[in-house]
A = this chain, B = another copy of it.
Amino acid sequence: MPQIEVKELRRIATSILLDSGVPGPLAELQADLLLEAELRGVPSHGLLRLRRIVERIGNGCANPTATGQQVWRREGYLEVDGEMGLGPVVADAALQAVCARARRTGIAVAAIRNSNHIGMLGFYAERVAGAGQTILAFSTSEALVHPWGGRKAMLGTNPIAIGVPTGSDPFVMDTATSIVSMGEVHDYANRGAALPPGWALDGKGDPTTDAEAAKSGALAPFGGAKGYALGLAFGLLTSSLAGAALGRDVRGTLDSEAVCNKGDLFIVIDGPTTALDGYLEMLRQTEPAHGVDQVLIPGERGRACRAERLRDGVPLADSLWRDLQQLAGETGYKGA
């Protein structure tokens, strides 16, 4: 697996976007979002997504210059029509507005529709919590998850991220409400490996460990009935306020042809913050279970991975590295 320097990856990703008509600062933001996922060890939300973004721009499903139309419906309530802009571009503009507003009002929310794939939610949570505010971030997706007790995908992977200032590095957790991502199922299929039982149903709705069969089926919600309830709640909350599509009507984060109709929701709270780092350190120092090295704090493995990859470069699958170079050739990038 080639290990590529971060600077080089940033350069190539930004250039590909520039060559696709994305203005400089917007291209950098979209590239940064994808790169952060690679740095933190979440390749399913990384550079793999770049080809689709370029195709979506080419097909008119993503507007490379739009930053979204923002309307303050009420003093703390921002309604955003993303105007088919790039997900992180629209999200970042909305976040700047609600973070500033929350400094005055104590809390503000942005409900975003008609925007493209927003990527790893932890990216936004880390920025906001790092700057001293508390954030809850939600997004919806295509139906990939079956309801608990059901046979068909009817829910998005409906992720949540929560960021809380702690006194030192912010606490950031970011998880989908599916037991695993569809990207991971594809990865198992590519390696010809069997899925653990309980992860997925096949296209007919029967439990399967065949990763190939699961690709046309459904993922389980994490944590059984409770995870299903949470995933459904996050999805309803977000779609309802954003005015976005629901369940099997959602399109546009996994294809290059459909206008994206999912929703995003950011709640930013500017409250008095308590030092949490003492408690988090106690958690880290808790005696671990047999076979466990240390109790982990969510987000810290990704942060450690980031530090390592900033130093040593990012390991990319051969095929992805070749595809990035090919994409650069197609869009006109000539190298550094």
Which residues in A have some Cβ–Cβ distance to B below 8 Å?
73-77, 79, 104-109, 111, 134, 136, 146-152, 154, 160, 162, 164-166, 171, 173, 175, 205, 222-230, 232-234, 236-237, 239-241, 243, 246-247, 267, 269-274, 276, 279, 282-283, 286-289, 292, 294-298
Kindly state the separation between the CA atoms of A243 and B282 in the bound complex, as whole angstroms. 18
Shortest Cβ-Cβ A-B pairs, 7 listed: A223-B223, A77-B106, A74-B106, A229-B298, A162-B233, A149-B292, A150-B286
A269–B241 contact, CB under 8 A?
yes
Given contacts A77-B106, A152-B286, A270-B74, contact A164 B223 (CB under 8 A): no
- Please classify the interface of chain A as helix (H, G, I), strand (E, B), loop, or mixed, using the class held by over half of its residues: mixed
**Quick one: which of B73, B164, B223, B234 contacts A236, CB cutoff 8 A?**
B164
Specify how many copies of this chain sit in the oligomer.
2
Q: Are B105 and A74 neighbours in the complex by a CB distance under 8 Å?
A: yes
**For A226, A246, A247, A288, which residue has the most chain B Cβ atoms within 10 angstroms?**
A226
Contacts of A239 in B (CB 8 A): 274, 276
A/B interface sample: 11 pairs, CB < 8 A:
A77-B271, A147-B283, A149-B292, A149-B295, A150-B287, A150-B292, A162-B233, A173-B229, A173-B232, A222-B226, A226-B227
Cβ-defined contact, A75 with B106, below 8 A:
yes
Given known A173-B229, A226-B227, contact A162–B76 (CB-CB < 8 A): no
> Chain B residues with Cβ under 8 A from A234's Cβ?
162
Q: Are B295 and A147 in contact (CB under 8 A)?
A: yes
B226 touches A289 (CB 8 A): no
- List chain B residues, Cβ under 8 A from A296: 148-149, 225
The answer to whether A134 and B205 touch across the interface, beta carbons within 8 angstroms, is no
- Contacts known (A109-B106, A134-B240, A154-B282); A269 close to B77, Cβ less than 8 A: yes
Contact B162 A246 (CB under 8 A): no
A287 / chain B contacts, CB cutoff of 8 Å: 150-152, 205
Please report the C-alpha to C-alpha distance between residue A121 and residue B194 in the assembled complex, in whole angstroms: 41
Question: What is the CA–CA distance of A283 and B147 in the complex, to the nearest angstrom?
Answer: 7
- Cβ contacts under 8 Å, A166 to chain B: 236
Distance between Cα atoms of A153 and B273 in the complex (Å)? 24
State whether A74 and B104 are in contact (beta carbons under 8 Å apart), knowing that A232-B298, A279-B246, A282-B247 are contacts in the complex: yes
